[in-house]
Amino acid sequence: MQFKTDIINGNLVIIAILLLASIQSGWSFKNSDPLSFISITLVVEPFLDCEGTPIIARIGNLEEFTSYYWLLPDGSEVHNTDLTITETGDYIVFATGVDGSDNELPFTIGQHMTLPDFDFMVVDSVTCNNDVVAITFDPTNLNYFIDGVAVDDNLDATISGGIHTIRAEGGGCFAEEIVNVPYDTLIPFVEIMIGDITCENPEAQLSASENPEIISFNWYNTLGQLFISAPDAEIGEVGNYFMIAVADNGCTQTFEFEVIENKVYPEIQANSENLSCENLQAALSVSSNLDEQDVSWVLGGIAFDTLANILVDEAGNYKVIVTDPVNGCMTDTVMTVSSTIDFPSPAIDTTSFQCGDSSATLIVTSNEAFLTYEWYDEQNTFMDNGKELIIDNPGTYILETTNSNNGCIHFDTLHVLDFRDNPDEFGFSYQVGCGEEDVRVIIENIVGGVAPYEIYLDSNPINSGDTLQLLSGDHIVTIADSAGCSHDTTFNVQIRPVLEISTIQDTTIDWPDSLDLDVAYNRDLSEIISFDWQSTASLSCIDCEETTIRPSVNTAINITVEDIYGCIEQRTIQVDVDKSVEVYIPNAFSPNNDGNNDFFTAFASSKKVSLIRQMTIYDRWGNPVYDVSNIPINEESVGWNGRQNFKVLEAGVYVYQIVIVDIDGVTKEFFGQVTMMDKR
């Protein structure tokens, strides 16, 4: 409590200043008559709550007064030690002190309408596993109600799904909020595939479509017993089953299904033939009562065909398997294919026409009595029968042999060669070294005669590929065969000269000029394989007969020439580059506008000098009178015209400083004197 004191007419006056205390302790007020030291101590709550709950006002120092009463806002009075207040307004308490003094203390009662500030949290959704979820409240010093039902003092509460009203009460005031507790009871989508028990699959294949929201697939047998928890399952017995899919929200979906058996075997009919000389391929076929069938033919344990109708040319036991593609059931049978084929295979002594022969004889050396023979020429014209045939000409002959026991016929084609011709056709070539007499002789593709052959060169025996010492001129090649026939052919051999090349001598060129290069040689161009120019500087062509080079430094150029005979020649050319720059700077000029020597500048080859970087003119006292930068060389019109700031200077001697830049970017500086002549 805080007091303010003052002195009026010599008396101490205490004026109570109202201070707000806590709601629990209430407010206290003091007041006193100016002529008395007795003051009223008032204890009262300053506010009614939201519901208008009565509050009590009382005098705290009641023993100091002999009488008192309360003046209400409506003007009525209450004579009592305590006052029950149910309305807001301005009140006054009057009291007479034991000292006879009159005291009064006014005060005002208001109403506290602050609504409770609260929060709550629903921690989850209602699922198939949980029909209620927890709810928490903050702060914890309020009273809470869910749909009008009070929450216990520990604030342990649950709430069901749907829309609810949450109410918080405190200080006589209350606040409400609406909450919608979500449901998570959606049953996820699942499909299942149910297979049959078949010959191919003795266990029915069961599968469920996977869904990330499904946490388990539970398959139950005919007794309701769980036998596997997985998306896929196998069942080996027929009957009624069911599967329960469980989602992560606890919701389930149940599927009832029946497993049946499909093991019907195909009924087949097979037909076969046997092999004979009249029937060299046996037809095998199979059919069944199926609309669609898979067929497999097997011989010796190896499957070789899948058609229903096939032809075979080998005797044996053929197994055919017919499979129902729907259930995998198979039926098979075995068919035996026999053969009476026994083709005759006579032994024949063939012959040929040798040098000097006028006829030849073909002879069958077999002695089987049941074989008969007929001879035909290559036009299939009958010639004779029996075991021998005498012929007058080489060519192709046919022997027909018949086995009289089974009627099988065999044909032999015989080629009688004529080796009476001389070996008069062959390929001859030779390879000569570069200017040497060593000659490699090659003989190939001999036509005529009878191999093996012997080769002679100028009556001396040789082998193809031998290297010989030969001179230019004619040489005789003789080919002799094993039948004693021979043939001579004359060839001319020429020994070629050494490959020689020539080009320019070593030289010097001005930079940046280019140089044309070529090479001369003692061969036809058709005999040259390659030109190869090599240099550190760039060449316009490295494999041409001619090339161009533009070196920036001294360089060597190598030229290599190779011909078709394997000869290689090389030359080296040294090319030096003259980079010296000659600059001409006049020692006098006459700027009189007569068209001659009116300007002062520097002159040089524009091929070597790119520009004048700086040109400065000084008078005889060293003062610059003209300065210019980056002007072209050889251009008089951009030089000095004898003026400074458009003013004509006096004739006389001036000093110049000139910096030029060559095309390599190198700068050179020149100093000197120039005389400006009289302008008249």
DSSP character string of 7-73: EETTEEEEEEE-----TTT-EEEEEE-TT-S-EEEEEE-SEE-TT---EEEEETTGGGEEEEEEE-T
Q: What is the dihedral of CA 305, 306, 312, 317, to 10 degrees?
A: 80
pLDDT, tens digit (0-9, with 9 covering 90-100), for 247-289: 888 888 899 999 999 989 999 999 999 998 888 899 999 999 9
The pLDDT of residue 79: 93
- The amino acid at residue 589 is F
Task: Report, in angstroms and rounded to the nearest whole number, the Rg of the chain calculated over CA atoms.
Answer: 66
Cβ atoms of residues 73 and 43 within 8 Å: no
Measure the CA dihedral 68/72/75/77, to 10°: -30
* Lookup result for tokens 């030029």: 660
Q: Which CATH architecture has domain 425-493?
A: Sandwich (2.60)
- Per-range mean pLDDT, top range of 207-216, 222-231, 292-301, 483-492: 292-301
What's the average model confidence in pLDDT over 134-159? 88
Q: How far is CA 127 from CA 73, 179, 185, 189, 249, in A?
A: 60, 17, 5, 17, 5
Domain 501-578 belongs in CATH node 2.60.40.10: yes
Q: Is the pTM of this model over 0.75?
A: no
Please, which pLDDT band fits residue 147 given cuts at 50, 70 and 90?
very high
Question: What residue spans define the domains of the chain?
Answer: 2-111, 119-184, 192-262, 268-337, 348-416, 425-493, 501-578, 583-676
Length reported for the chain: 680
Q: What residues contact residue 108 under an 8 Å CB cut-off, 6+ apart? A: 46, 88, 89, 90, 91
| Annotation: CATH topology of 268-337 | Immunoglobulin-like (2.60.40)
* 268-337 and 425-493 have identical folds: yes
Question: What percent of the chain is predicted at pLDDT more than 70?
Answer: 92
Q: Which two tokens stand for residue 488?
A: 């001579």
The CATH class for the domain spanning 348-416 reads mainly beta
Q: For 583-676, CATH number?
A: 2.60.40
Superfamily of domain 192-262: Immunoglobulins (2.60.40.10)
Please determine, for residue 332, whether its predicted confidence score (pLDDT) is greater than 90: yes
CATH topology of domain 2-111: Immunoglobulin-like (2.60.40)
Q: How confident is the model at residue 356 (pLDDT cuts 50, 70, 90)?
A: low
Is the pLDDT score of 414 beyond 60? Answer: yes
